[in-house]
Structure 1
Amino acid sequence: MKETQMAGTGGNPLDFAAAAPSYISDVLYLIASGYEDLVDCEAVERLNQANISFVRGEFVNALGLIEAVLADLDRSQPAYTSIAAFRMLLQSVVGPDPDRWKADVDERLLAVPGPPKVVHLCIESDRLWHSGRLFQGLRLNQHALQQSRHDCGQWHLYALVLLAKKLTDMHLRGQAHRLVGKVEACVHDSGLLAFEPVVEALRSSLHLQAGAFEKALASVAETLEVAQRRGSIIGVELALSVAAVTHLRLGNRDEAAACLKLFHARNGQHTPADTRARAAFAEISLVAAEEGPRAGAEEIRDRWHLLATESACFAEDVTRPAWLVAVALRAGDAALAERALCAIERLAGDNREVQLLAVAEEHARAVYRGDGRSLPLPLDLDAGARPGTGAALATSQEPKRSSVPPRVRPARQAASAARPACPPTLTARESEVATLVSRGMTNRQVANELGLSPHTVNFHLRRIFRKFSVSSRTQLCRLIAQTGPVPAPGLGPGRDAEPR
């Protein structure tokens, strides 16, 4: 997929006109985010320019305009709270200090329901999420969503998008798909069409995660086409990072490089941490494929700060930490391999409720020990070989046990679950329960998803354990990650079939 093709209309999707309402989506966005009680024409004009700058990705310009409006605005005016919330959001993503917003906000605005409180909860939820406190971040995001329910505009949309991305990171695809549907409804019901590209961008990441590569690329193409039509940059970086990784998985290095070139065309602008991590991983993978593991290991060191090792997006692909370990060991860099392993061990240890992380930890530890029990890695490490074409890192390619240096500290013992010689047959309900448990859901979450009681879920889970000859959720997850869920005879599409 070349740059002109990626654009959808033959032009660069990142080239937009100056901040002016030149699209019908601009006009609808200005109406949807309007401030009816403002009578100062100059203030209204600045706000309109700030809104258009925001959807064009010009956050610094938008912040300057918003600060100029607030400097002359009476705090008693109803519009003040929403404009102050806009400034909080911009200050949290512009510049080196993400806590800059705290110095300018009136604490009283955070104590009552309204846009500032919603934005405050969203900012804090992301801070917790990206510092490794996943469930606290998730709960705070859900609280922000509840607080914004009475405002079906941009603040409700903001909370929805952040929560959808978190659920995607945790591989809760069924819930994430439903939330993306709510994002789409909010965009259209509120007239916020400038945010329309983010809908397909979110779907593209879900398709990538499910291994539906053609669907992922179709969603990316639609994202870029809609972005061009709407004159918006929202969702474009997310889509380009997904496209880069997807092309790598398909063995299309040139197309992956073209996507990354477009991704970096907005150099200096804010990029969400999960999107930045995905792009960094793609760049490391390209270097490792083209120049070999030593160059790949150097890239890992150089880009370590971009890999989001303290949030669930580090294990967006459960083999990603294991792949980093493998690259480091192939390069003879034992310290880097230890660093990558410690990162996933720490993240999994701090979030034992997230089964996804336990599975990623198991794979990384298996590669580190060279015991051959990890999942095949998706990208080939041999320089000159096409990545992701099925010639994945095989057992014979994995580091031998003798090449692994002694650990500084005792390694935790891996669960000794042997792969069954003949995979057992599950009932339709057991297959549903096993699939949801493998995505990190608790019994109560599975019960809510399937309309069962937690007691019934536990009953099914005990039967599944017996059939697989395992004694823990971690062992079950590793087996399902290796073999995939075992469908019952005649079982049709599950509840998590991906809607379009």
Structure 2
Amino acid sequence: MSPNSRSLPQVRGREPQLAQISANLRSVTSARRSKVLLLEAAPGAGKTRLLREAVGIAGRNGFTVVDGASAGPDAAPGAAPAPVGTRPHPPGAAEGGCHDPGASSAIETARAWLRDDAERVRAIVALDDLHLAGLPALTALCDLIVALSARPILWLLAFAPDGDAAPYEPVKSCLRELRGRLPVEPVRELGPLSGDALTRLVADCTGAVPGPALLALAESVNSTPRTVIELVRGLVEDGDICVVDGTSRLQPGSPGSAPAGAGVCTPALVPKRFSALVQKDLRSLSGPTMKALRLAAVLGSPFAPEDLSAMLGEAPVGLLTAVDEAVNRGLLVCGEHDLAFRGEPIWRVLLDSVPPPVCALLRRQAAEMLLSRPDGVERAALQLVHIAQPGDVAELRIIAEGSQRLLAADPSTAASLATRCMELLPPGQPERVRLAKTAVEAFTRVGDLDRAISLAKDTIDGAARLPAPWPAALAGDIAALRASMSTALLLLGNARMARRAAADALAAQKGGVQHSGAVITHLAASYLTGDSTAVERARKIRGAPDRHPPAVRVGAMTVHAFDQWCDGRVGDAVGSLRQAVALDHGSEEVQPFDPRWFLAFALTRTDEYEEAEAVVQSAAPTAAAGAGTLAAALPAVLRAPLHLAQGRLDEAEEAARVGVGMDGPYVPMLAPQAWLVLARVALRRGAFTQAGDYLKILDKDFPQRDASSPWRAPRLLLKAQSAEAQADSRAAMEVLAEIWAQAGALRELVLDDPAAAAWCVRCALAADMPDIAQLVVDTTEHLRTHNRRVPSVLAVALHARALAEGDADAVARAGRLHRNPWAQAAAAEDHAGLLLDHGDHERAIGELDRAMSAYGTLGGERDAARVRARLRRLGVRRRHWTHAKRPVSGWESLTKTERMVAELVAGGLTNQQAARRLFISPHTVGFHLRQIYRKLGIRSRTALIRFRA
């Protein structure tokens, strides 16, 4: 809790109202006539706080303030009392606060001052709680406003709406007198806070940004800001809130700290303070509404109206009054076909209001009712899982069947049902293996791969201790469980263990029908670990389509496409993947080798961006795509390289961060691609330290154990490009030494990035290694020969050969053939270099300008700096600074160039070394360093290193 948490919170979420008041202050000033603003709001909505802010704005803008705002029930809890009395404040002195000694007396005091004041000064008159004033005082106020209508006065009149204890009719009568005699305008409604405004209000009360569970509690009572403030400050006083890593959270171990969903479709417990606040509000509900809500809480959220009607034993028409009241009170929200509680905390309070023995009876009644429905097994299972006991055979069977049916639509709930059912079965029961398979598949779908693998291993080990001989069904279930485990292992990126588990599953089913998942995983894992027989097995499967199910044939076609790609037959590989996608009509099981994934990557690398985007959009629906599943994370990891290829660095970085699991579940098997995107984005921005950090993570978490790894060549290419940027071309060539020795590896490197081949030729020539340049040219020519209908390959081959041969016209043609914007920019720069060699400076400068502009547009700051340096050497200077609104101090205050300088110097480079990498002078580096020291409040390189760390 911050030291100032008891002070008046800042106004949140009322920007439109304040803007409206400010506009009317300007209007009064320009028209020199009065205007009336009517502020109608329920107690606690913040009308008094808004009046305080309004008079403050007016005072700071030269208005004399006559205030009668209350510090009573509508003021924020903990606010300091203001001086008593309604009195004028001179301009600029309106922030001492307001107090309400009585609505009628406030009106009289304001009337006396304005009547005696002969000066025609600009003024704002703020009067609160006018619904509490008597009719004579209101009539006098109305007469005064009309009498002074020719003076520049903004009248800000606040009152509570009809329905409160105080009479409302005198206020309405007064307002009727004003309308038509001078401008009258209502202030925009003070509704409940939402989104960022609510988050900031909770942060004001706790001193830190709220965590999800705390914010959910605040949202559940968000009828007025005052209610939220009372709740959060109460939780702070009760010790239910702590601040961890800059986030205010519910205290570990407190009732509300359990994550939502810790049980099976049951909301987390809530703190006593919150429960008491909600129960107080619930007591004002009618008896029938309260009964309906408690039954609805047992049914769950969302719930079907027909289920509630059946539980109540009433016709649907009997629900109308109760549902209307609950919706109007903000307890329920209506969906298209169902109803739901507004928030899980509200649901929890109502559920807790049902005594446990009664709740158990109601759940059993609900389950019996639901079993007669078409989708009743799943919903009945969600009721019985809370009350089933060991030995309840019939109920456990329903729970097991429900978990299986929910596997595709709701894998998280399916896993909870299956694991709970396993807990209720005694050790040694064969049914545990079948339940474990369901749970393993469910955990795999939600991305909890480690738990899936651990559960599978424990279950298999437990089954191994059962006395022999095993029933045939049990042996088949264990084989199926091994197949599911092999899928999880492959998605985890452990191809060797996946291959072994799949082989064990296939061996157990030898002579019988083999599990499709085991066949696919074994085939894919074998290929990824360098098993040369995998391609032949894939060929045999493709050659006997009638003997294999579609899913196995799709897997074989995908492996075949991989082999075609590695052999340099790019067009054929893309064609095979398209055929595989056309054959794949989706599967209920998790697919560890989905052809859509690899088709999206292949299309991106061949610059077919539109088709790649279409494939990405179709990839997620092949599995459960709900929030928190692997399928939900797939589009990001597929789009990251696509955004990068199109030159959208910010979007590429954002997608790649999702792809490596920074924001939830991810697919570890594909994560290396996302790390490579992050490293490449950092390198293109000139953030060498950051790029190096990403590559270190890649090496640590995803070591290259096999020469056939699909990410090996692009990883080495990035390391070489980093070495070239930080050292020289010869260092880059040394990094790629193992690539030159393998034709397949060089083909993969060239195909990874349309600009890679020209970069290799450029570096080889700069390092005086013409044999390497020729090797790259020969490789691109081989690709061109086998891919005459793939425009991107033709452009790459033409660019590489033209650069090696010094053919300026051919390089220009290659630039026109490239679709990749990075390759286009590189071709313009290469063309300029060759034009300079031929003495054509004028055209070279034009090409350099085009390259610099392209790099700058793409966010390639280091590339743009390099081209700018070449232009300077030609006597041409181009302005490159841009204005951006930044803080005055701290890391965020640094410009992009200053950040690059800071990173290089913090990495131990001298000014001269940093200057060479950024293509600027050491003097300029020194200038930037002085700015960096000033903005960060430090004085030395050592302090900069510590700050950056």
Structure 2 length-normalised TM = 0.35
Change (3 A) 1:158 1:170: same
> Which residue matches 2:347?
none
Change (3 A) 1:139 1:172: same
> Which residue matches 1:428?
none
> Which residue matches 1:255?
690
Q: What is the alpha-carbon distance in structure 2 between the residues aligned to residue 277 and residue 307 of structure 1?
A: 10
Alpha carbons 2:588, 2:623 under 8 Å: kept: no
Q: How far 1:123 moved relative to its partner?
A: 0.9
Q: How far 1:174 moved relative to its partner?
A: 0.5
Q: What is the alpha-carbon distance in structure 1 between the residues aligned to residue 703 and residue 772 of structure 2?
A: 28
> Counterpart amino acid of 2:533?
D
Q: Deviations over 1:262-304 (max 9, x none)?
A: 1112214569765333222111111112221122222233333
1:26-175 matches, within 5 Å, as: 26=444, 39-40=474-475, 41-77=477-513, 80-94=515-529, 96-100=530-534, 102=536, 110-112=544-546, 113-149=549-585, 151=587, 153-155=589-591, 158-175=594-611
Q: Deviations over 1:117-153 (max 9, x none)?
A: 2211111111112212222222222222222226465
Q: What is the alpha-carbon distance in structure 2 between the residues aligned to residue 300 and residue 340 of structure 1?
A: 12
Q: What's the RMSD between the two structures over aligned residues?
A: 4.2
Q: What is the alpha-carbon distance in structure 2 between the residues aligned to residue 195 and residue 149 of structure 1?
A: 16
1:364-375 matches, within 5 Å, as: 364-372=800-808, 374=811
Change (3 A) 1:110 1:256: farther
Q: What is the alpha-carbon distance in structure 2 between the residues aligned to residue 86 and residue 156 of structure 1?
A: 7
> Which residue matches 1:284?
720
Change (3 A) 1:85 1:75: farther
Q: How far 1:340 moved relative to its partner?
A: 1.2
Name stretches of at least 5 consecutive residues in structure 2 with no aligned partner. 1-244, 246-435, 457-471, 816-824, 839-845, 851-949
Q: What is the alpha-carbon distance in structure 1 between the residues aligned to residue 482 and residue 638 of structure 2?
A: 31
Partner SS, residue 171 of structure 1: coil
Residue 310 (structure 1) aligned with residue 735 (structure 2):
no
> Which residue matches 2:911?
none
Q: How far 1:184 moved relative to its partner?
A: 1.8
Residue 361 (structure 1) aligned with residue 814 (structure 2):
no
Q: What is the alpha-carbon distance in structure 2 between the residues aligned to residue 286 and residue 307 of structure 1?
A: 23
Q: What is the alpha-carbon distance in structure 2 between the residues aligned to residue 252 and residue 221 of structure 1?
A: 16
Change (3 A) 1:138 1:251: same
Q: What is the alpha-carbon distance in structure 2 between the residues aligned to residue 199 and residue 38 of structure 1?
A: 38
Q: What is the alpha-carbon distance in structure 1 between the residues aligned to residue 545 and residue 832 of structure 2?
A: 60
Partner SS, residue 188 of structure 1: coil
Alpha carbons 1:280, 1:306 under 8 Å: kept: no
> Which residue matches 1:211?
647
Alpha carbons 1:25, 1:230 under 8 Å: kept: no
Higher-Rg structure is 2
Relative contact order, higher structure (CA 8 A, sep 6+): 1
Q: How far 1:159 moved relative to its partner?
A: 1.3
Alpha carbons 1:149, 1:156 under 8 Å: kept: no
Change (3 A) 1:342 1:281: same
Q: How far 1:102 moved relative to its partner?
A: 4.3
Q: Deviations over 1:90-124 (max 9, x none)?
A: 21212x32424746998699432433222111111
Alpha carbons 1:207, 1:215 under 8 Å: kept: yes
Aligned length: 370
> Which residue matches 1:229?
664
Alpha carbons 2:542, 2:557 under 8 Å: kept: no
The structure 1 residue matched to 2:784, chosen from 348, 358, 374, is: 348
Q: What is the alpha-carbon distance in structure 1 between the residues aligned to residue 473 and residue 705 of structure 2?
A: 30
> Counterpart amino acid of 2:525?
L
Change (3 A) 1:48 1:187: closer
Q: Deviations over 1:423-449 (max 9, x none)?
A: 9xxxxxxxxxxxxxxxxxxxxxxxxxx
Alpha carbons 2:499, 2:526 under 8 Å: kept: yes
Partner SS, residue 149 of structure 1: coil
Q: How far 1:372 moved relative to its partner?
A: 4.5
1:328-477 matches, within 5 Å, as: 328-372=764-808, 374=811
Q: What is the alpha-carbon distance in structure 2 between the residues aligned to residue 223 and residue 308 of structure 1?
A: 25
Change (3 A) 1:400 1:274: farther
Q: What is the alpha-carbon distance in structure 2 between the residues aligned to residue 173 and residue 57 of structure 1?
A: 27
> Counterpart amino acid of 2:763?
V
Q: Deviations over 1:396-427 (max 9, x none)?
A: 7569869xxxxxxxxxxxxxxxx99xx9xxxx
Q: What is the alpha-carbon distance in structure 2 between the residues aligned to residue 143 and residue 58 of structure 1?
A: 28
Alpha carbons 1:38, 1:44 under 8 Å: kept: no
Partner SS, residue 337 of structure 1: helix
Q: What is the alpha-carbon distance in structure 2 between the residues aligned to residue 303 and residue 398 of structure 1?
A: 28
Change (3 A) 1:152 1:372: farther
The structure 2 residue matched to 1:176, chosen from 597, 600, 612, is: 612
82-91 or 237-246, larger mean C-alpha shift: 82-91
Q: What is the alpha-carbon distance in structure 1 between the residues aligned to residue 484 and residue 830 of structure 2?
A: 56
Change (3 A) 1:144 1:291: same
Change (3 A) 1:350 1:268: closer
Q: How far 1:361 moved relative to its partner?
A: 2.3
Q: How far 1:328 moved relative to its partner?
A: 0.6
Alpha carbons 1:370, 1:398 under 8 Å: kept: yes
Alpha carbons 2:561, 2:576 under 8 Å: kept: yes
> Counterpart amino acid of 1:53?
L
> Counterpart amino acid of 1:254?
T
Alpha carbons 2:755, 2:796 under 8 Å: kept: yes
Q: Deviations over 1:68-88 (max 9, x none)?
A: 2221225433x5344222221
Q: What is the alpha-carbon distance in structure 1 between the residues aligned to residue 747 and residue 628 of structure 2?
A: 33
> Counterpart amino acid of 2:747?
E
Name stretches of at least 5 consecutive residues in structure 1 with no aligned partner. 1-9, 11-18, 379-388, 403-418, 424-500
Q: Deviations over 1:354-381 (max 9, x none)?
A: 1112222232233223345547x99xxx
Partner SS, residue 225 of structure 1: coil
Alpha carbons 1:118, 1:155 under 8 Å: kept: no
Residue 296 (structure 1) aligned with residue 296 (structure 2):
no
Partner SS, residue 230 of structure 1: coil
Partner SS, residue 314 of structure 1: helix
Q: What is the alpha-carbon distance in structure 1 between the residues aligned to residue 666 and residue 520 of structure 2?
A: 24
Q: What is the alpha-carbon distance in structure 2 between the residues aligned to residue 198 and residue 144 of structure 1?
A: 19
Alpha carbons 1:325, 1:340 under 8 Å: kept: yes
Partner SS, residue 332 of structure 1: coil
Change (3 A) 1:49 1:153: closer
> Which residue matches 2:759?
323
364-373 or 81-90, larger mean C-alpha shift: 364-373
Alpha carbons 1:197, 1:224 under 8 Å: kept: no
Q: What is the alpha-carbon distance in structure 2 between the residues aligned to residue 137 and residue 192 of structure 1?
A: 32
